A and B are shown apart, each in its own frame.
Chain A
Amino acid sequence: MTQKYENPVVELLFQLADDDYLFSYRGSEWLGLAPHIEEDVAFSSITQDTMGHATVYYRLLEGLGLGVADTLAHMRPATERKNSILVERPNGEGVYMETPRYDWAYAVARSYIYTTAKKIKIDSLKSSSDQSLAEAAVKISMELYYHLLHWKTWFVQLFNSTEDARNRMTKALEKVIADCGDLFSYGDAATEITNASLIESEQVLLNRWTEYVKPVFETIKVAVPTFGKPERNGRNGEHTKELQDAINTMSEVYRTDLTAAW
């Protein structure tokens, strides 16, 4: 690639913002449909926190002159999105406006893997050379602590429960891991991002993640998975069809009048 990334902080912010934005969207589709009411309350709280995190990043981008945060969140087409493939995958069959058949095992496996990866990144961002990014990371990590606790509890409990639950979790985890190729990737902007000391390198974070989740995987008697090479790299704007569908839903009202105040 010959493309130069003159402002690597912008590249990184888009990756972080789009990740949380899509992850939160998938969470909000679950609203009202979680396995029990207590979980609905907890899950929607996490979803809300996560949309808050995305908002922090989009506002930092707005501060850097990239455009209005709402426009960045709603109007960029899939080809300009920098989120990982994992967060754009649907929750299961069907669409949320009808009668979807969502898979709770997939929700737990995806949320656990995504949240642990997010923790490793946020910890590294705390010592970012970019002051506002470092400050955002400190704030986000306070909420992230509870998200981690929550998903770890589900992850371990379902793996170590009935045979049926373990089978479902095993399948769901395989599906999640197959999409993790770009989770720690910074795409084509990797060199610029790490050279600018915005965050540590992909490999350092990946190794740290492996160490971090090891005790949990020992508890469930599963080997810590390794991520393959990505088929598509979301960090470079390569996405599935589901991403554009998600963006269309999220921007349905906003798009009706871009100049209106909502």
Chain B
Amino acid sequence: MEPAARQVPGTDSSAGGTDGMRGIAALSLPARVFVAIAVAVVTVGVAFHVAMVFLQTAPDNTISKRHADVVDAYVYPEFERNWKLFAPNPLQQNVAVHARARIAKDDGTTETTGWVNLTAMDGKAIHGNPAPSHTQQNELRRAWEFYADYHDDNGLPVGLRGRLSEQYLKRIVMMRFGAELNGGSVERIQVRSAVTPVAPPAWSEEKADIKTQYAVQPWWQVTSADLPGGAE
């Protein structure tokens, strides 16, 4: 049951003791054939695995393009490596997500709130925090990346992932806003990204325009599926 525990080398008499070859040489012929096959299988398996993982991580090249389907079928979903440690260039802009809501009040009037900088709230939670939570550091940041990757320039979703990313973003915004806001219920929400390039270092000669660029998305109707507790 516990092979690992038993395998302190040199203490296992049956494994062949100090002279390794004796371990294999002492075996009967069928056992030796079996071990030889196992050696071949492990060798081929390791070589194949390493090749696949290498082709997935390396930049697109002749081999990886030719065998893309084999590589993808093997590597995804479990053996993928999906981060590149700030390569080829580190992110050089702060991407913030803002949201606002249209609220239906009890007296029949509607009100549109100002833009709320949700990313700034994450930033505040991260300040002075030695171990920021994934909910603060990754949730909104990666949800926006996901959304942007699967939406066209007109803010329209691309494929299933486009629709999923939209609902995900809505649910994040609604979790942070709450169904009730400013004394009314949230009927529609709108998000925009605010992209601000990082100013070039003070010690460099470089000049850059660091004006914030906004990408405003369409208004979205809020349904019960977008609220916490409203999952299908």
**Are A and B genuine complex partners?**
no
A: residues with CB less than 8 A from B are: none
B: residues with CB less than 8 A from A are: none
